[in-house]
Amino acid sequence: MPLYGVDVASYQGEPSWPKVHASGIRFAFSKVTEDTDYTNPTWTHNRSKMPELGEDFLPGAYHFLHGGNGAAQARHFLSKAGNVTGFAVALDVEASGADADTARDWVNEVKDRTGGHPVIGYFPRWYWEQQGRPDLSFFDTIWQSHYVNGSGSAADLYKKVPDSWWKPFGGEPISILQYSSKASVPGISGPCDVNACRETLTDLKALALGTREPPRPVADG
């Protein structure tokens, strides 16, 4: 049975994180920033409430990348995110002129300023193909997306996910799969994105927080 997670932005308002956790969700990513001039107004709430769930939960923070200066966007993210110790960090690369080169600059800047904090790359396979199949080994691991049909609970929707959606690409394994944007999760208003991880929470924390070596590069599936 996989671990289930969610990712949220301002559209989901201020989740009741105790209810989210009680429903079986064990990790979450909140949007923090976008480009160099936007900050998610619900980040302050999420930043304070997610860690209160304790050791049985992994809180996360992400930036939505635009084209342009990746390092400047990384500095904006860190200035608004605050100390990311104890948080998984992810970079969302899927539109707005973003590409692998800009993403690499963002990752390098974050690592330089945090002492090497791991970065998970949300880089959907369709966008990777559109971008010419670039090497993604500058990420510590990949967060892939491929959606099933319908709506429902995280567990019910995951039953529709074929194993082939976990095949690696870009030279990195997939550690997280976003498989729907129409899940119903107690504590979150309206439909939301749900994700799965096939490792244990201990393993995911070790990867996301830098307490174990990242997975070795792999051949594309």
Q: Which structure tokens are listed for 58?
A: 């992994």
Residue 217 has pLDDT above 60, yes or no: no
Range of the domain at 114: 3-209
Q: Which of 15, 73, 197, 141 is nearest to 30 (CA)?
A: 15
Instruction: For residue 215, tell me if it sits in a domain.
Output: no
pLDDT in tens, 107-127: 999 999 999 999 999 999 999
Instruction: For residue 216, tell me if it sits in a domain.
Output: no
pLDDT in tens, 44-67: 999 999 999 999 999 999 999 999
pLDDT (0 to 100) of residue 219: 60
What beta strand segments (E) does the chain contain? 3-8, 25-34, 38-39, 58-64, 88-92, 120-122, 141-145, 174-183, 192-197
How many domains is the chain partitioned into structurally? 1
Instruction: For residue 165, tell me if it sits in a domain.
Output: yes
CA 7/CA 202 separation, integer angstroms: 19
pLDDT in tens, 70-114: 999 999 999 999 999 999 999 999 988 999 999 999 999 999 999
Alpha helix positions (H), the chain: 17-22, 43-49, 70-81, 100-114, 125-130, 154-158, 201-209
Instruction: For residue 220, tell me if it sits in a domain.
Output: no
Q: What is the pTM of this model?
A: 0.94
pLDDT in tens, 162-203: 999 999 999 999 999 999 999 999 999 999 999 999 999 999
Residue 216 has pLDDT above 60, yes or no: no
Q: Which of 111, 106, 90, 88 is nearest to 209 (CA)?
A: 88
Residue 221 has pLDDT above 70, yes or no: no
Burial 161-184 (b: 16+ CB within 10 A, else e): beeebbebbbbbbbbbbbbbebbb
Q: What is the CATH number of the domain that holds 100?
A: 3.20.20.80
The Cα angle at residue 170 between residues 112 and 108, in degrees rounded to 5:
10
Contacts of 55 (CB under 8 A, 6+ apart): none
Mean pLDDT for all residues in the chain = 95
